[in-house]
Chains A and B, each alone.
Chain A
Amino acid sequence: MSASFERGYNLLKEMIDAPIASYLSSCVRCGMCASACLFFTETNDPKYTPIHKIEPLRKVWRREYTLTGKLASWLGLAKPLSDEDLADWQELLYDSCTLCGRCTMVCPVGNDIAYMVRKSREGMAIAGHAPAGVVAATKRTIEIGSPMGVRLPAVKVQISHVEQETGLEVPLDQEGAEYMVLLSSMEIINFPEYLSALARIFHQAGKSWTICSEAFEATNSGIQIGVGDLAREIVMRVVEGAEKLKVKTVISPECGHAFTALRWDGPNLIGRPYTFKVQHILEVLDELRLAGKLKTEGFEAGRLTYHDPCQIARRGGVVEQPRNLLKMVAQDFVEMSDAGTMNWCCGGGGGVSANPDAEAIRLLAFKRKKAQLDELGPVTLVTACANCRIILEEGLEHYQMDVPVVGLTETIAAHLVESPHFSPPLPNPLPHTRRPDGLGTRVGEGTNALSPLGRELERGLAGEGEKP
């Protein structure tokens, strides 16, 4: 038993908690999880059955945490987990699982299989059985700050481009701003329109925001590969940046796994709750919509549908907001089958798209999304995850489908009424008191006479957050 296999085995053992023990006790091998997994449904290969993917974890559980398992191994009746097993399981745990969590939703005994895959990856990575592409991405994140090797100069190229295009300033390292915007490397490299859209939206809404030069990266490939220590370090950069700049809310960009890593895993990785809020950009946009700060005009031509990124909808709870936002700019919005928390994965998340070994299976699995789109006929596909977007475009290209794909934030921004001093109509007359303080005051400070909505509107009217 090599040193790294032993560490992997021990880490698997450490990962097993009461939930996992209850899941493994309850599995009756009904196989219904297979019918929920696009890697099985599009290949009909039983090895892609989700519960089978965590067989190494189950072996460790049985041997270490059950009386019968201990007896069986003592009597030589059960083969222990081996390094060969882990090597064999690399394909199942990394190439054919995006942590989409659909299996978790259908298991009749309630098993959270995606959770168990995530935990299994910790052992796999330490034992040296994670895909080279994702390992390299994690190394780059630690050493450079981004999984794709994006450094601040590259971000500045994009910022300069955005400032040119919009005529608006992109604030850098502004202390006391309400929002700290994170970008995933994907947006920086491929979708500068996301940052343009944000600049215009925040300008119209009168919100103060900033990018942090030391913590602009949202992607956490430490999570995807399954190395908690590295994932923690990556989260800490964001935490330190946000606390140094004293921002109220950190905005996770249009990237599914970045949201999961920051919003749900982050505090548990660093061992304490955050002192700031974390929201997905869709949540922020919907709040602005509710506060009347998003004024749009016109409608998209043609039919629109929405692909729910798994980490944002099913594993993140952001389901209604994108629909509320889309209905502002779409008259012909149609849902695909299984829309919402049961939507089908694009097939590329959770490190799969960074894994060249997985390309063939990923394109096969895309047939599930293709089938959903075929049912709808001519339609434009809107989504809110940069990785989903590229995976969708690649899949559509592969299957020669003529379906345009657009991002949600940029679609909203494209319909903004571009008025520099826009003020929404007030629902009731509110006392117009001048605020004594400047930008970025914390919740609870300032006037108490106004309701939270009133304070927001009042700040917008006072012109805070706009260019001087």
Chain B
Amino acid sequence: MTISNDSEFKAALSALAPAQQRMVAARFAENVLSASPDPRVSSALQAAKRADITEAELAAAVHAARSASVASYTSCSKEADRQHQASHFVAKAALNSVMPAAHGANRAWEAALNARMARAIASGVASDNSEAQQQYRILSEFLQHRGQP
């Protein structure tokens, strides 16, 4: 299945079961992991990618991602640092992947958006669409292989 635009992308994500959304969302976040030096983010994502994650492990992942997200806010009137700001959106993407989204929104879509934001901030280019293309590829591959262990 080829995905070439956001409508197809969103539709394909909505069709996934929550656990699947979690795993693909984690992959989106992982794709921008280089923008976050926080080990809590990578540990949360490692857990989130696994199909056999337990409730307790999931709770721990939520805790780790949230701590990383809060720690990477830029405080009011502090000088903004692009790398620091980008790392916040990686953490947010990670948090999206392990937490159910609000009001029936699609957590994988939220994670994808935050990952794209992280990439755009890190590169400093507003119209950098490369991350979206990579996410379409990640989703296609995920859909292809999800039947397999």
A and B touch in the complex (CB under 8 A): yes
Tell me if A354 is interfacial: C-beta within 8 Å of chain B.
yes
With beta carbons under 8 angstroms apart, the residue of A134, A159, A351, A354 that contacts B126 is: A159
B77 and A137 form a contact (CB under 8 A): yes
Nearest-CB distance from B60 to chain A (Å)? 13
Nearest-CB distance from B64 to chain A (Å)? 12
Binding site secondary structure of chain A: helix
Interface string of A167-194 (1 = CB under 8 A from B): 0000000000000000011100110100
B85 and A189 form a contact (CB under 8 A): yes
B77 and A147 form a contact (CB under 8 A): yes
Which chain A residue has the least Cβ–Cβ distance from B59?
A402
Binding site for A on B (CB under 8 A): 6, 66-67, 70-71, 73-80, 85, 88, 102-103, 105, 113, 116-117, 120-121, 124-127, 132
Q: A160-B126, A348-B76, A353-B75 are known contacts; what are 6 more A-B pairs with Cβ within 8 Å?
A: A133-B77, A156-B126, A161-B116, A300-B102, A353-B78, A406-B102
A397 and B67 form a contact (CB under 8 A): yes
Contacts of A397 in B (CB 8 A): 66-67, 70-71
Complex Cα gap A393–B75 (Å): 11
Tell me if A361 is interfacial: C-beta within 8 Å of chain B.
no
A190 and B103 form a contact (CB under 8 A): no
Nearest-CB distance from A191 to chain B (Å)? 9
Interface string of A354-395 (1 = CB under 8 A from B): 100000000000000000000000000000001100100110
Binding site for B on A (CB under 8 A): 133-134, 136-137, 140, 147-150, 153-154, 156-161, 164-165, 184-186, 189-190, 192, 219, 221, 224, 298, 300, 348, 351, 353-354, 386-387, 390, 393-394, 397, 406, 414-415
Complex Cα gap A253–B103 (Å): 24
Complex Cα gap A300–B101 (Å): 12
B120 and A160 form a contact (CB under 8 A): yes
B126 and A164 form a contact (CB under 8 A): no
With beta carbons under 8 angstroms apart, the residue of A133, A148, A165 that contacts B74 is: A148
B116 and A164 form a contact (CB under 8 A): yes
B75 and A185 form a contact (CB under 8 A): no
Asked if A161 meets B113 with Cβ closer than 8 Å, knowing A153-B126, A156-B126, A414-B103, the reply is: yes
A387 and B113 form a contact (CB under 8 A): no
Asked if A386 meets B76 with Cβ closer than 8 Å, knowing A165-B113, A414-B105, A415-B103, the reply is: yes
Contacts of B66 in A (CB 8 A): 397
Nearest-CB distance from B78 to chain A (Å)? 6
B80 and A189 form a contact (CB under 8 A): yes
B120 and A161 form a contact (CB under 8 A): yes
A219 and B77 form a contact (CB under 8 A): yes
A164 and B78 form a contact (CB under 8 A): no
Complex Cα gap A298–B105 (Å): 13
Which chain B residue has the least Cβ–Cβ distance from A151?
B80
Asked if A186 meets B76 with Cβ closer than 8 Å, knowing A160-B126, A192-B117, the reply is: yes
Which chain B residue has the least Cβ–Cβ distance from A386?
B76
Complex Cα gap A281–B117 (Å): 24
Complex Cα gap A140–B76 (Å): 13
With beta carbons under 8 angstroms apart, the residue of A134, A156, A164, A394 that contacts B113 is: A164
> Which 4 pairs show the lowest CB-CB distances between chains A and B?
A354-B77, A137-B77, A156-B126, A387-B76
B117 and A148 form a contact (CB under 8 A): no
Contacts of A148 in B (CB 8 A): 74, 76-80
A153 and B75 form a contact (CB under 8 A): no
Nearest-CB distance from B62 to chain A (Å)? 10
Contacts of A300 in B (CB 8 A): 102-103
